[in-house]
């Protein structure tokens, strides 16, 4: 049974059934009882047979039990025992008396008997066997009698005994240490870091009896560790302590362990000695494994203070390995472990430490509480003083360990020792005040505030959470209060959204059921089968227990009007709502459902500044509704939340009172929530290739001139008269309110849609990477592929399949008809002929533009013609020309790396997605942030010249945002961002395209121009594939006029001979 299970079992049996409270505090004991005790002690102070002595002592102990603890002091029995211990003739009887009192009277004499333990240990080494046996029995009875949290005081005496020179005292002390471990495993384990070294010394003693006692004590001590990951290795750990040659094998076994449970001081007490020995082994392999174990275990430490006793030895040992090991990879592991230990050390120093509460401080607190609670308590009486001092010792060990279990304080540590002096209610009142006083003084102020928050409890449950084979949270606690707003923080992939979904779906163990606690998941997205409903019908369908009038009234409160001129007319289809109105609709639905808890996952995504402000005000105004919020908008968290729930490194949730600023003050390393820094994670974007005619980064490679777009069925254009341009040095932020037309402009910019009027010009070889606002739409048909498989599928045909699916790239019915038109063509010999274009084969550079090789319908390849770009566009083949340009541009972009698993995995790793997720996990199982990384990596595979991202900050955590910002700063191509995250755009983009009411205004500064390093950006002559094969890269060669004429003549000869004209020999 684990310590936790044992504690739960004990709580069921806690009671005062065996405790006798005094109805009235009687300072004087009945003289008959005093006389009986004195008579018995006088008899025992003389020589008598052992059997008679035991009978007399037992009889006297029963009298003491009936008369109470004052009978021991008022009869002078304690002084008599001390005198008897000094005389060899009465020493045996003294031990018999101690044994009888301890076993019969228990807690009534415990404070007195504990002080006799050193004398008993000394007596265990006496020459006379009778005295030795009596001393051992007395020591054992004292150990049996002592309460669980008196263990620490007992161990201090036993450890002194275990270091004595007399082997008999050592042996008995070690046996009793083992007995304490078996009897009170949890309190004992809290002292294990002090005891383990003493027991280890005993295992190396020359005396066999001592070694055997130490081995037994070590077994019991290690068994007191509740960590289930460690328990299977206890025999091996003990063997390694006894035999140093076993240390390497034990380290091997530990390194193969998957540590899941929280690591605490007892677990470290058992493993750290082995790890320290392993760090001095000769083999680098063992030393490297030590570093791996230290790193893994350190990340599972719940309370940082648990590691404090071990860091002074462990950190220098790991530092030495980091400096001395010859293997670079092993040194890397050592530095990683050292970094983890340094983080622990920093956390310990940063956190407000628990106030030390030694016995004298606890005694002062007890006296104050007694004076205030029970004024009639006999504070100056010797017996009561002795009991108060013992209570102070016991609660000191509990307070110093920050153990404030109310049951154990009440039924074990305080009330039983007050019972002989006061009624039950007075004792309980003293416990209540003393417990509160010690908790307030001992607990770090921040931790106490986190736990003692006022308000109604909605949830206080313990659970674990996993996804597939991955453990996300392990035996953690979630504590929520009504009317509070909790921001859930943690890195991408830690399980924030999984937790929220699990709560919404009722999959969290011990979480209150829906009939007790109503939770509503608030999301922008509307389910596909409901998207054609009118607004009011949609809400009626989802909230069937409310009548229509109530729903209309509530919708009106949220701004949805029964007016067809309103932007949120309740009779309009919900599919036409902007992101801000969809969020308001979702919140209205939740309020109508009488939600106790709102679950909001990235609520600010797609919202402009005004709608974010509205959402902030709404959430803050809900004093009866609790909110759980996941967002990477640090300003939103600062202004809204009352608590931060943080995913700790040890797979636990930790509750911090206050907003994000307060959290960062307490956990300085969380400052990355405010900074766009790539210190923790870095992304790497591939560099774009060279473009013909572009010798400086400031020269425009895409232009839009007076472009207008009007959606079919609309009576007016969405955007009008848009003029802009971008270059390789562009860093542009596109800003404006929701519905202003930002996304429409960008779709024209990227070629997804064609303007109704106006011109869009792009360099023929340029490549654009586009990450859409709803980034997941890129992946929705590939959820059962791995990210690696998705990118390979996307580019396996030599084209970007997703780009070809864009609306602007698809042929309309009219364009399909234009492709079949008959054209009058003048041949090279001057004749005129009617022909139909069948396909475009290739292209070649002319002085000012390109010519394209045309294959004619029902004509052989030898009759192919070269026609200018402009002519083909007039013939209706403009989109096919663009497609061939894109194929050529893509071919140039992919020349540097083959489309293999190895190279795709590297691209994904460069985007912050570990190989485990990149190649071995399906997209369906990735978090929102991880999916965004896959989309960006896929878009960047073709080495684009312009990167366009619509709301890239959605779903990315602060570290990933910092990494993205760092990659954009270093990137050699142009970047255009649409984002409501002003912090992100202002840090990166000096130029702004402000969109309002369908118009665009350019503001800010255009990025500085600079010449392109032609050699540094050139396509390599050779590349190596994943199998190590060297492949020569085919490059376009610029021909002179003479060489061009010679090539044309050669092609004509090949056609005459019936050979294809596009042979590699031509290049």
Which of the four pLDDT bands, split at 50, 70 and 90, describes residue 1034? low
Residue 24 has a pLDDT of 62
pTM over 0.75: no
Residue 34: phi and psi, rounded to 5, are -60, -45
State the Cα–Cα distance between residues 880 and 873, nearest whole angstrom.
Answer: 9
Check pLDDT > 70 for residue 282: yes
> How many C-beta neighbours within 10 Å does residue 106 have?
19
- The tokens for 185 are 């495993």
The rounded percent of the chain whose pLDDT value lies above 90 is 27
Q: CA 803 to CA 722: how far, in whole Å?
A: 23
pLDDT at position 1045, please? 74
Q: What is the 3-state secondary structure (H, E, C) of 722-763?
A: EEEEEECCCEEEEECCCCCCHHHHHHHHHCCCCCCEEEEEEC
**Quick one: DSSP state of residue 414?**
I
Q: What are phi and psi of 984, to 5 degrees?
A: -70, -50
pLDDT at 11: 42
Cα distance between residue 881 and residue 852, in whole Å: 8
Per-residue confidence (pLDDT) for residue 579, from 0 to 100: 62
Least confident of 231-245, 394-408, 577-591: 577-591
Other Cβ atoms less than 10 A from the Cβ of 830: the count is: 6
Output the CA–CA distances (angstroms, integers) from residue 590 to 512, 555, 1058, in the order listed: 18, 12, 74
882-901 pLDDT per residue, tens: 777 766 766 665 555 678 88
- The strand order across the sheet containing 700-709 reads 719-727, 700-709, 757-762
For residue 171, what pLDDT is reported? 95
pLDDT at 641: 92
Whole-number pLDDT of residue 695: 83
Q: How sure is the predictor about 997, in pLDDT bands with cuts at 50, 70 and 90? A: confident
Residues 660 and 644: beta-carbon distance below 8 Å: yes
**DSSP sequence for 640-662:** H-SEEEEE-TTS-EEEEES-HHH
What's the CA gap between 20 and 24, in Å, rounded? 12
Task: Tell me the C-alpha distance between 608 and 736, whole Å.
Answer: 8
Rg (CA), the chain: 40
Rounded Cα distance between 398 and 300, Å, is 23
Transcribe 454-519 into DSSP letters.
Answer: -S-EEEEEEEEEEETTEEEEEEEEEEEETT-EEEEE--TTSSHHHHHHHHHTT-STTPPPTTTS-E
Among the listed residues 835, 883, 896, the one whose alpha carbon sits nearest the alpha carbon of residue 863:
835
Cα–Cα distances (Å) from 1032 to 186, 393, 895, 1022, 1025, in that order, read 69, 81, 10, 5, 11
Q: How far is CA 371 from the centre of its chain?
A: 48
Residue where the block lists tokens 């533009």: 849
- For residue 1017, pLDDT over 70 is answered with no
pLDDT in tens, 720-731: 999 999 999 899
- Residue position matching structure tokens 């029964």: 562
* 479-500 residue pLDDT tens: 899 999 999 988 766 788 888 8
Tens of pLDDT, residue by residue over 402-423, are 888 889 999 999 999 999 998 9
The pLDDT mean for the chain works out to: 82
Please give the structure tokens belonging to residue 796.
Answer: 């396996």
Contact 485, 641 (CB under 8 A): yes
Going by C-beta distance under 8 Å and a sequence separation of 6 or more, which residues neighbour residue 599?
500, 503, 504, 519, 520, 521, 522, 628
Tell me the β-bridge partners of 1001.
994
Beta-carbon contacts of residue 1013 (< 8 Å; ≥ 6 apart): none
With tokens 């006894």, the residue in question is: 242
Q: Could you give the CA distance from residue 808 to residue 812 in angstroms, rounded to a whole number?
A: 9
Query: Higher confidence at residue 303 or residue 126?
Result: 126
Measure the CA–CA gap between 97 and 90, rounded to whole angstroms. Answer: 11
pLDDT tens per residue across span 188-224: 999 998 999 899 999 888 899 999 999 999 999 999 9
pLDDT for res 167: 92
Using CA atoms in the order 446, 451, 452, 457, what is the torsion angle rounded to 10 degrees? 150
Structure tokens at 354: 């628990």
Band of pLDDT at residue 1047, cut at 50, 70 and 90: confident
pLDDT tops 50 at residue 689:
yes
Structure tokens at 967: 């990659």
CA 508 – CA 499 distance, rounded (Å): 8
Instruction: Name residue, tokens 């050193």.
Output: 118
Specify the pairing of strand 865-868 against strand 850-856: antiparallel
The string of pLDDT tens digits covering residues 591-650 is 888 888 989 888 877 677 777 888 888 889 888 889 999 887 788 888 999 999 988 877
Burial of 798 (0-12, 13-18, 19+ CB in 10 A): exposed
- Closest by CA to 397, choosing from 249, 139, 662, 186, is 186
Lowest mean pLDDT among 14-18, 43-47, 620-624: 14-18
Kindly give the interhelix angle for 579-592 and 548-557, rounded to the nearest 10 degrees. 130
**Residues 683, 912 contacting (CB under 8 angstroms):** yes
Helices (H) and strands (E) in the chain, counts: 45, 24
Listed in sequence order, the residues at least 6 apart from 325 whose beta carbon sits closer than 8 Å to its beta carbon are 284, 287, 288, 331, 334
Q: Can you give the pLDDT at residue 12? A: 40
What is the reported pLDDT for 1020? 54
How many CB atoms lie under 10 A from the CB of residue 640?
24
pLDDT at 817: 77
Question: pLDDT (tens digit, 9 = 90+) per residue, 522-576?
Answer: 875 555 456 667 888 888 888 888 888 888 888 888 778 877 767 777 777 776 6
Q: How many residues does the chain have?
A: 1067
Which carries the bigger pLDDT value, residue 872 or residue 436? 436
Residue pair 163/198 in contact by the 8 Å Cβ criterion: yes
Task: Please give the biggest Cα pair distance in the chain.
Answer: 145
pLDDT digits (tens, 9 = 90+) for 311-333: 999 999 999 999 988 888 888 88
What value does the mean pLDDT take over residues 476-481?
A: 87
DSSP alpha helices (H): ranges in 784-823? 787-795, 801-804, 813-819
Pair 640, 620: CB distance under 8 Å: yes
Closest CA to 953 of 927, 910, 926, 984: 984
Q: Is the pLDDT of residue 259 over 80?
A: no
Q: Which of 397, 450, 348, 392 is CA-nearest to residue 194?
A: 397
Question: By three-state DSSP, how is residue 31 classified?
Answer: helix
pLDDT tens for residues 137-192?
Answer: 999 999 999 999 999 999 999 999 999 889 999 999 999 999 999 999 999 999 99
Each residue's pLDDT tens digit, 74-129: 999 999 999 999 988 899 999 999 999 999 998 899 999 999 999 999 999 999 99
Give the integer Cα–Cα distance in Å for 285 and 23.
Answer: 69
Q: Mapping DSSP to helix (H, G, I), strand (E, B) and coil, where does residue 842 land? A: strand
Q: What percent of the chain stands above pLDDT 70?
A: 86
Span 328-362, pLDDT tens digits: 888 888 998 998 898 888 877 766 555 678 899 99
859: left (phi over 0), alpha (psi -120 to 50) or beta: beta
- Residue 1028: pLDDT over 50: no
């Amino acid at each position: 049974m684990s310590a936790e299970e044992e504690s739960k079992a004990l709580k069921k049996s806690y009671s005062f059934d065996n405790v006798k409270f005094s109805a009235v505090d009687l300072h004087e004991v009945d003289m008959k009882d005093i006389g009986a005790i004195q008579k018995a002690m006088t008899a025992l102070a003389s020589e008598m047979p052992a059997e008679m002595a035991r009978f007399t002592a037992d009889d006297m102990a029963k009298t003491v039990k009936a008369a109470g603890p004052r009978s021991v002091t008022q009869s002078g029995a304690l002084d008599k025992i001390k005198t008897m211990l000094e005389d060899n003739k009465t020493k045996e009887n003294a031990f018999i008396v101690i044994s009888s009192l301890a076993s019969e009277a228990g807690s009534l004499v415990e404070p007195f008997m504990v002080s006799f333990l050193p004398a008993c240990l000394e007596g265990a080494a006496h020459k006379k066997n009778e005295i030795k046996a009596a001393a051992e029995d007395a020591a054992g009875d004292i150990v049996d009698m002592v309460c669980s949290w008196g263990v620490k005081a007992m161990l201090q005496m036993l450890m002194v005994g275990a270091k004595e020179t007399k082997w008999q005292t050592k042996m008995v002390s070690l046996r009793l240490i083992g007995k304490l471990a078996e009897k009170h495993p949890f309190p004992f384990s809290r002292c294990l870091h002090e005891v383990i070294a003493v027991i280890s010394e005993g295992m190396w003693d020359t005396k066999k009896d001592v070694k055997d006692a130490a081995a037994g004590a070590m077994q019991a001590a290690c068994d007191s560790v509740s960590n289930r990951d460690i328990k299977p290795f206890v025999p091996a750990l003990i063997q390694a302590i006894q035999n140093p040659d076993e240390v390497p094998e034990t380290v091997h076994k530990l390194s193969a362990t998957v540590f899941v449970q929280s690591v605490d001081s007892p677990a470290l007490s058992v493993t750290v000695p082995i790890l320290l020995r392993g760090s001095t082994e000769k083999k680098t392999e063992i030393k490297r494994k030590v570093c791996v174990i230290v790193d893994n275990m350190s990340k599972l430490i719940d309370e940082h203070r648990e590691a404090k006793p071990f860091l002074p030895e462990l950190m220098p040992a790991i530092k030495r390995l980091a400096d001395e090991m010859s293997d670079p990879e092993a040194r890397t592991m050592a530095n990683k472990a050292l970094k983890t230990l340094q983080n622990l050390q920093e956390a310990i120093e940063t956190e407000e430490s628990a106030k030390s509460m030694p016995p004298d401080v606890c005694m002062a607190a007890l006296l104050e509480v007694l004076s205030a609670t029970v004024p009639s308590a006999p504070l100056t009486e010797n017996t009561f003083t002795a009991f108060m001092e013992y209570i102070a010792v016991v609660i000191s060990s509990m307070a110093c360990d920050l153990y404030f279990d109310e049951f154990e304080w009440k039924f074990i540590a305080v009330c039983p020792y007050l019972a002989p002096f006061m009624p039950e209610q007075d004792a309980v009142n003293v416990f209540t005040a003393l417990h509160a006083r010690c908790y307030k003084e001992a607990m770090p102020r921040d931790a106490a505030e986190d736990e003692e928050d006022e308000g109604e409890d909605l949830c206080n449950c313990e659970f674990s959470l996993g996804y597939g084979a991955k453990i996300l949270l392990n035996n953690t606690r979630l504590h929520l209060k009504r009317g509070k707003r909790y921001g859930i923080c943690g890195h991408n992939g830690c399980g924030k959204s999984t937790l929220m979904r699990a709560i919404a779906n009722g999959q969290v163990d011990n979480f209150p059921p829906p009939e007790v606690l109503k939770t509503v998941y608030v999301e922008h997205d509307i389910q596909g089968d409901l998207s054609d409903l009118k607004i009011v019908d949609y809400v009626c369908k989802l909230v069937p227990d409310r009548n229509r009038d109530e729903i209309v009234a509530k919708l009106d409160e949220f701004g949805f009007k029964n007016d067809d001129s309103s932007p949120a007319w309740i009779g309009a289809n919900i599919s036409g709502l902007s992101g801000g109105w969809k969020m308001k609709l979702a919140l209205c639905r939740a309020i109508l459902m009488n939600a106790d808890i709102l679950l909001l996952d990235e609520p600010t995504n797609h919202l402009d500044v005004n709608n974010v402000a509205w959402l902030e005000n709404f959430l803050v105004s809900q004093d009866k509704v609790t909110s759980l919020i996941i967002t990477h908008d640090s300003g939103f968290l600062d202004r809204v939340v009352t608590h931060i729930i943080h995913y700790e490194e040890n797979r636990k949730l930790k509750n911090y009172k206050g907003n994000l600023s307060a959290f960062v003050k307490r956990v300085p390393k969380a400052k990355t929530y405010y900074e766009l820094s790539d210190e923790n994670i870095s992304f790497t974007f591939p560099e774009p290739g060279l473009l013909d005619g572009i010798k400086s980064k400031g020269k425009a490679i895409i232009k839009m001139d007076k472009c207008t777009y009007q959606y079919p069925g609309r009576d007016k254009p969405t955007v009008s008269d848009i003029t802009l341009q971008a270059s390789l040095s562009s860093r542009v932020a596109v800003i404006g309110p929701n519905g202003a037309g930002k996304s429409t402009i960008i779709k024209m910019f990227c070629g997804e849609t064609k303007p109704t009027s106006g011109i869009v010009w792009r360099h023929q070889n340029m490549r654009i990477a586009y990450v859409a606002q709803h980034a997941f739409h890129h992946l929705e048909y590939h959820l059962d592929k791995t990210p690696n498989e998705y990118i390979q599928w996307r580019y396996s045909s030599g084209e970007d399949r997703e780009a070809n699916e864009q609306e602007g790239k698809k042929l309309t019915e009219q364009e399909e008809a234009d492709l079949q038109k008959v054209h009058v063509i003048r041949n090279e010999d001057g004749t005129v002929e009617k022909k139909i274009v069948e396909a475009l084969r290739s292209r070649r550079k002319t002085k000012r533009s390109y010519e394209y090789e045309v294959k004619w319908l029902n004509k052989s390849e030898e009759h192919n013609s070269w026609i200018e770009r402009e002519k083909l566009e007039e013939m209706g083949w403009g989109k096919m020309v663009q497609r061939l340009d894109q194929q050529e541009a893509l071919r140039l972009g992919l020349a540097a790396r083959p489309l293999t698993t190895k190279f795709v995995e590297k691209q994904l790793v460069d985007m912050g997605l570990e190989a485990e997720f990149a190649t071995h996990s399906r997209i369906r199982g990735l978090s929102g942030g991880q999916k965004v990384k896959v989309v960006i990596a896929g878009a960047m595979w073709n080495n684009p010249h312009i990167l366009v991202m619509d709301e890239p900050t959605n779903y990315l955590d602060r570290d990933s945002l910092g990494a993205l910002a760092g990659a954009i700063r270093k990137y050699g191509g142009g970047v255009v961002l649409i984002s409501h995250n002003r912090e992100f755009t202002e840090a990166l983009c000096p130029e702004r395209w402000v969109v309002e009411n369908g118009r665009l205004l350019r503001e800010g500064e255009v990025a500085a121009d600079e010449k392109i390093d032609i050699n540094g950006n050139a396509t390599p002559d050779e590349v190596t594939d994943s199998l190590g094969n060297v492949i020569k890269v085919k490059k376009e060669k610029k021909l002179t006029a003479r060489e061009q004429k010679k090539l044309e003549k050669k092609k004509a000869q090949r056609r005459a001979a019936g050979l294809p004209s596009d042979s590699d020999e031509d290049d």
